Amino acid sequence: MVSYATQKLAEEKVFKDPVHRYIHVRDQVIWDLIGAREFQRLRRIKQLGTTYLVFHGAEHSRFNHSLGVYEVVRRIIDDIFTGRPEWDESERLVVLCAALLHDLGHGPFSHSFEHVFDLDHEKFTQAILLGDTEVNAILKRVAPEFPQHVSDVIAKTYGNKQAVSLISSQIDADRMDYLQRDAYFTGVSYGHFDMERILRVMRPREDQVVIKQSGMHAVEDYIMSRYQMYWQVYFHPVSRSAEVILTKALHRAKELSENGYKFAYEPRHFKTFFDRTFSLADYIALDEGIVMTYFQEWVHEEDEILADLCDRFVNRRLFQYIEFDPAKDYRKLSELEQLFKKAGINPAYYLVFDSSSDLPYDFYRPGEEGERVPIHLLMPNDELRELSRSSEIVEAISGKRRTDHKLYFPEDLLKDDTKKKAVKKQILQLLYGQA
């Protein structure tokens, strides 16, 4: 009798995909997981959060991305690794499931939501995999310990590091999918690289996946794509402005709830998050449609701050920003906070410092205290060589972090001179340095 772990569909199923053309499913387990309600929920969570307010095409979901990561891993192991002695075929299913389910615990507008409610989507991924869920029931049919194994691969605590590195490393299926997918949906011209070439030169080694030296230039292109996508798309200052407003609106709702405010539109879905009594079912019940419904309703709340912040988010009336160097200007920040209070604008909600930072590629040499496993090239003599030792392009950006600091504020309120004109003028002078 064929076990559930090896059971194949009578006919291969395919999903049409704009990035990988087709996503191929032969395994019954994968097909069943895609149909599970917790996986279907990912259709209702956007991959790029608030980025759609800048790049209007960026409405794609975590469902699209998860299928994409699964497909990239499937191609690596079924087309490239299969039959190679360094690859353990018995790890195939656990890695495919981990690839498909790695983002399962993301909530609506994850970054803001997790920040306000002190949550961690990785913990929710584990809770969904191991809790009373449809996904868990499917994984348990493979073997009782199988859900834990999938969870361990995603949490990077699995014994087989090679399996982990397919999903979490400096050149993994997750990044290869999201760079291309996000480039496609935002419409930017960065983010493209020759993935087919990279996949063809990937080789399994003891506790990692390495790249044949002949594929070095394709990897250089991938690293540069990543660098550009971070600065052109992921850290775009305007989508950060939207995120700042979203975060502050959630903070305001939380504060109001804690102070016994009577909402005209009761935050039924958030109550257990406000008082930290939420269950896994409460978390799974949330999606971005629900958050947007509350925001649209809260535009009419009596509390002026909540109503204004929700209106700003729903109708894209975003905060303005300036470059801000905290080292030089931290005293100015205290001064601004005081002036905002004098102007009757609550700085806790309307004056926000925000930083973005990225390290495009980090190397590690034995004995150093680096935390990232580097990309290794497989040389013709079978030795391994860390990428930045061979690539001048990569060496130039290795270990170099770029950070961007911005200060966000509602310029429209400050330019409204019907009230507190003098103090607002003083604020604008401090912000823009004008006379």
Partner 1 sequence: MLEEHAKIVQFITLAGEVTGRKKLQKMVYIAKKMNFPFQEKYQFHMYGPYSEELTLRVEELCNMAFLSEKKEDKGSYVQYTYSCTEEGSQFLSTMEGNHPKLDLCIERLNNKSSRFLEMVSTLLYFDHLERAEQVEKLHVVKGKLNFTETEIEEAFAFIKDLQLCIQA
Minimum separation from the CB atom of position 248 to partner 1 (A): 12
DSSP of 301-366: -SSHHHHHHHHHHHTT-PPEEEE--HHHHHHHHHHHHHHHHHTT--HHHH-EEEEEEE-SB----T
Minimum separation from the CB atom of position 58 to partner 1 (A): 23
Which member of 79, 337, 416, 417 binds partner 1 (CB under 8 A)? 337
The reply to whether 351 sits near partner 1 by the rule CB under 8 A is: yes
Which member of 91, 122, 308, 311 binds partner 1 (CB under 8 A)? 122
Using the contact rule CB under 8 A, the part of the chain among 180-188, 249-257, 284-292, 345-353 near partner 1 is 345-353
Nearest in space to 4 (alpha carbons), one of 137, 160, 100: 137
Count of residues that bind partner 1 according to CB under 8 A: 29
The reply to whether 195 sits near partner 1 by the rule CB under 8 A is: no
Rounded CA gap, 207 and 162, in Å? 4
Rounded CA gap, 101 and 69, in Å? 9
Rounded CA gap, 423 and 429, in Å? 10
Structure token digits, residue 175: 């990044």
Rounded CA gap, 288 and 310, in Å? 14
CA atoms within 13 A on the CB side of 262: 0
Of 115 and 385, nearer to partner 1 (C-beta) is 115
Of 4 and 364, nearer to partner 1 (C-beta) is 364
**DSSP 8-state class, residue 201:** T
Using the contact rule CB under 8 A, the part of the chain among 33-41, 96-104, 286-294, 326-334 near partner 1 is 326-334
**DSSP 8-state class, residue 234:** I
The reply to whether 279 sits near partner 1 by the rule CB under 8 A is: no
Rounded CA gap, 233 and 124, in Å? 27
The reply to whether 334 sits near partner 1 by the rule CB under 8 A is: yes
Using the contact rule CB under 8 A, the part of the chain among 12-20, 275-283, 365-373, 385-393 near partner 1 is 365-373
The reply to whether 2 sits near partner 1 by the rule CB under 8 A is: no
The reply to whether 120 sits near partner 1 by the rule CB under 8 A is: yes
Q: Which residue(s) pair with 376 in the sheet? A: 386
Minimum separation from the CB atom of position 364 to partner 1 (A): 8
The reply to whether 84 sits near partner 1 by the rule CB under 8 A is: no
Which member of 5, 80, 155, 314 binds partner 1 (CB under 8 A)? 155
Minimum separation from the CB atom of position 350 to partner 1 (A): 12
Binding to partner 1 by CB under 8 A, coded x per residue (else -) over 373-412, reads x---------------------------x-x---------
Which member of 11, 196, 206, 369 binds partner 1 (CB under 8 A)? 369
**DSSP 8-state class, residue 46:** B
Nearest in space to 31 (alpha carbons), one of 11, 3, 47: 11
Which member of 11, 196, 368, 392 binds partner 1 (CB under 8 A)? 368
Count CB-CB contacts under 10 A for residue 212: 15
Name the phi and psi angles at 166, rounded to 5. -65, -30
Rounded CA gap, 225 and 269, in Å? 39
Binding site for partner 1 (CB under 8 A): 120, 122, 155-159, 326-327, 330-331, 333-334, 337, 351-353, 355, 357, 365-369, 371-373, 401, 403
